Structure 1
Amino acid sequence: MKKIVSLLMVLILGFVLVACGGDDPLDPTGPVQTIQLSYADWGDPEFNQKMIDAFEVKYPNIKVTLRTDIEGSGEAFTGNLITAAQAGLLPDVFATDNVPTIINAGLTLDVAQYWDADVDTDSVYDNIALTGVYNGKRFAVPSFQFLKGIMINLDIFEEANLTTVDGKYRIDNDGYPVKDWTFEEFIEVAKAIKNFEINPADDTLVDPANTVVGLDTWYGSPDFQQVWPMMEDENVQYDTWDGTQFNYTSDDWVYAMEQKVEMHQLTNGTTTRFTTEVYDANTILQQYLIQFGVGAMDIEGSWQFWVLNEAKETSDINLGFWPYPSGDAGLFPPTILDYQAVSSQTDHPEEAYLLAKWMTFGEEGWEARLDLLEADFDEAEAAGITPMYLDRFPVANYPGVWDRVYDLVDGIEGIDYTFNRIEYAKPDLDKWLPGYKDFWAWVNDPENPYNWENLVQAGPQAVETYAVQWENKANEIVQGQLETLGSDTE
């Protein structure tokens, strides 16, 4: 590490990064040497160790310590990374929930020279490769993409016997929504599939056993304005970001937000927004509705694929994963990205990049990952246990890898439609665009007169006014931080 750590601290913690000799460790004609690296993320430590073991077989001159002392996940994990860095004990490679945060804390190394010389990066999907780069410097590598789609209860749809209604929605021969459905069809299906009647005397459900809520939303409210516009215009990314600015005053964003507000105002079982009285009076509404057979549809991420197993095994509920509805420009699947970074404190940047690549986007790393996953899959099947589905996916076009990936989600009805368009996926902005989380803090600030709750109260007719304020604020915050992020980093 670049920082000097006291001998006492090294003896206590046991994390010292040393190397023997100075020749290129990747040169097979040079003397053999051992490079010591460390790695940390919030994933399964047992699986991580197996991946590290495979890495060490590939690179026998590199030894990797799996750091388990960086606790927590997401924001808490990133905070603990900063604490470790202050003690000179930052892992050589680590995951993060927010790239700008670790750049501002001085934790990350610019790995552009390694990325640019790496043939594997030519296969990374264009929309994903653009992320993690600031002022010409690459401070993070994308690890996985998680799918955003619509989890649906196949049993509810089969029992509902919905049929196509001209001008509203199309239903296929199995009784399910068509997979090339539109935004408008999606909303109409949510309204049609619900079965929700309340006793006015005490706010209890009239028929709890047969109650159906149409749609569980994305973290409490529909995400329409973030996703719909990018399906209407192939030139804009997630949430109308075009690489330079947000475009909330566009017709597409205004329309999507109007539909979002209108739907979020409903408390009649179309979505999981209920009155306080109804929610308190009915315990079946106080659970994860899609898992327990009450929700018909759920805007969800693939990290929740464990629910498909749980619902089937515990309640014999059959769930599918439909593509997000399409727009006039087609289907550009929304995906959620994760990232890893190489430490600014590492003594071995080239080897650390190899480790980061192995644990994230690299083809050889994915082949090793799939070997392990397939072994777990076969073991579960042999034991009579339903194997867990793969819930995270490559960020690069490796045909052989994707062929194997398909086998690990075989049985999820509807997922093929998303995979068929995965090269056109448009990733979210949450973990990589500077200022974006600050903008959303402003949106949800009770002191902000243009906050989200005030917009809901004002109704769809106020969206055009709010769009001006939101666009100005988003661009002010994000553009200001984007111009300077990483510019003073060596």
Structure 2
Amino acid sequence: MELFKSWVAILTIIMFLIGCSSKDTLNESKEDKEVTISYASWNVGTEEEKNIERLMIEEFEEKYPHIKVEIDDSIPNEKWNDGLAAAASSNKMPDVFMLSQIPTGIANEWLLDLTDLAADDEDFAKVPEVVRESATYDDILYALPAGQQFLGYFVNKDLFNQENLNVPENGLNMNEFADSVRNITNIRSGQVGLNNPLAILDWYPAAVSETLGWYTYTEEGYHLDSKEFINGLNLTKNIVTNNYSFESLTDEQKSNFNGENPGEVWASGGMGLVWDGTWALSNYENNLEFDWDFIGIPGGRTVVANDYMGISKTTKHSEEAYLLIKWMSFGKEGYLKRIETAVEEDKVLNGLPVTTDEDVLDAYFEIQDLPGLRAAYENLEKGVIEPVKAVPGYVQSRWEAPTGVGIEGNPNANIHGLLEASVEGEIKIEDFISQINKLANLKYQEGNEAIGQ
């Protein structure tokens, strides 16, 4: 698959668009006053690597010579929230910082109210609505998007064509999805439908209902006792029981495959669909030797997974801090510069455009022309947020909350363990789903109370 076009043509288009958009932004009348912004992010790499994030910071300083950006590397990547808490307690909070979870930042009173800063920003207005809403609590904007990815399935088009089967495309319905997974599976020939069946539990409700989100989430809470969730669990169970997923196979069955893990089996061409994120695009382009595409989830709703950045309540330079995040993420001029820099410096273009701006999307698709990815952008108006970084208490509601129910090898299984046991046939979900739903909503309520909602 040829995703990358002529660099000369790309740069010509991008330079033209940058010239048209360079009349930015926010109070450039302050250019005579030099300020320093401290910036903490887990994706800046090292000085020696000089990845695209560091190059973008250099471009920002060139664009705004009165603003110096100082990278704060005192926050450990593996203990991000602990590092931010320590910085806050010692009055050394970075002006701008990545957020593992927005609710944690709200509960600890780290975050500046950004509502007024973003109110009249044309670039922020072009951030997908579902993303803007995900960072807004009680009508207060607490965070800004700092990178965007889509979640969903990638398809091995060659494998389906080889078997004379219809190639799944973005927007396929649920029956077509199930048929594709089943029909492509041939264990003896080293072919299997997909990798991770448990992902279905999360996306299925949103795929069959316009009112439910990821894992049945709505603003009112979870609806795990709904027919949508039960049907998704039963589909997952069917895929596991019939050995349509690599991770549910026995070791003997796996010996038929060219690869020891799902990633290797996918890369070798033995898997029809793989659940992954668009962060894998560069890896796939460089390493896969078959024709592939991104098809998202059945039904066509786009699943959005974002990073977020916040501005410290203690900052003395809120407008400059906002301008920096905008440049690094959702601003038109900044993202066009990111594309130009990636092409000129031969760097990986990490992250999708966090905007619906047509000029930006046209420039992006000059270098990344996957049909399924274009379709995903067209469907953003009915997008679904993957809620781990935005919904209060989600980690407890989805995985970690203990249920008090004993299963084999665990006298007090957590929610995830109980759902997995039901998929594997160890328990009947009907006996426990009401309890699980109540517990998930209790943790959601507790999460909301922690941030004053």
TM over 0.5: yes
Q: Give the unaligned 5+ runs of structure 1.
A: 1-24, 163-170, 198-209, 381-386
Q: Aligned pair 1:224/2:200, yes or no?
A: yes
Which residue identity is paired with 1:325? Answer: P
1:178 offset after TM fit, Å?
4.3
Q: What RMSD in Å do the two structures reach over aligned CA positions?
A: 2.8
Contact 1:191 1:270 in 2 (8 A): no
Q: Supply the distance in 1 between the matched residues of 2:123 and 2:130 (Cα, whole angstroms).
A: 16
Give 2:320's aligned residue: 351
Distance 1:311 1:413 in 2: 19
| 1:106-121 alignment runs, 5 A limit | 106-121=109-124
- 1:434 and 1:346 mapped to 2: Cα distance? 25
For 1:437, the equivalent position in structure 2 comes to: 395
CA contact (8 A) 2:31 2:66 kept: no
Report what 1:400 is aligned to. Answer: 359
- Read off the aligned partner of 1:37 and give its amino acid letter: I
Instruction: Give the Cα–Cα distance (whole angstroms) in 1 for the partners of residues 164 and 423 of structure 2.
Output: 34
Structure 2: which amino acid aligns with 1:131?
S
CA distance in structure 2 between the aligned counterparts of 1:281 and 1:179, rounded to whole angstroms: 30
CA–CA distance in 2 between the matches of 1:106 and 1:449?
Answer: 30
- 2:419 counterpart residue number: 452
| Offset, 1:278 | 4.8
Per-residue Cα deviation, 1:67-93 (whole angstroms, up to 9, x for no partner): 334342xx6334333333334333211
State the shift of 1:277 in Å: 5.6
- Contact 1:308/1:318 (CA < 8 Å) preserved in 2? no
Corresponding position of 1:317: 290
Shift of 1:394: 2.5
**1:146 and 1:302 in contact (8 A); partners too:** yes
Check if 1:421 corresponds to 2:379. Answer: yes
Deviation at 1:430, TM superposition (A): 0.7
Aligned-pair identity in percent equals 24
In structure 2, the residue matched to 1:9 is: none
Distance 1:392 1:369 in 2: 10
Which of residues 49, 56, 60 is equivalent to 1:51?
56
Partner Cα separation in structure 1 for residue 266 and residue 350 of structure 2:
17
Q: Are 1:97 and 2:66 counterparts? A: no
Matched positions, count: 413
Matched, 1:274 2:249: yes
- 2:447 match: 481
Which of structures 1 and 2 has the larger relative contact order (alpha carbons within 8 angstroms, sep 6+)?
2
Partner Cα distance (1:269, 1:230) in 2? 22
What per-residue deviation string (whole Å, max 9, x for no partner) do you get for residues 277-335 of structure 1?
A: 655897823351212322221011111113312433xxx33332223211xxxx21112
Letter of the structure 2 residue corresponding to residue 454 of structure 1: A
2:38, 2:95 within 8 Å by CA — same for their partners in 1? Answer: yes
Q: Following the alignment from structure 2 to structure 1, what is the Cα–Cα distance between the partners of residues 31 and 392? A: 44
Q: Is the 8 A contact 1:150 1:300 kept in 2?
A: yes
Give the C-alpha shift of residue 37 in structure 1. Answer: 0.6
Q: Do 2:246 and 2:254's aligned partners in 1 also have CA atoms closer than 8 Å?
A: no
Residue matched to 2:177:
186
CA 1:372–1:485: 2 relative to 1, 3 Å = same
Residue 367 of structure 1 aligns to which amino acid in structure 2? L
Q: Distance in 2 between matches of 1:363 and 1:299?
A: 30
* TM-score, length-scaled by structure 1: 0.76
Which of these two proteins has the greater Rg computed from alpha carbons? 1
The 4+ residue runs of structure 1 with deviation greater than 6 A are 280-283
User: Partner residue of 1:166?
Assistant: none
Which has the larger helix fraction?
A: 2
Q: 3-state SS of the aligned residue for 2:272?
A: strand
**Correspondence 1:244 to 2:220:** yes
Answer whether contact 1:444 1:452 (CA < 8 A) is retained: no
Residues 92 and 423 from structure 1, CA distance in 2 versus in 1: closer, same or farther, beyond 3 angstroms?
A: same
Partner amino acid, structure 1, of 2:310: A
Q: 2:293 aligns to what SS in structure 1?
A: strand
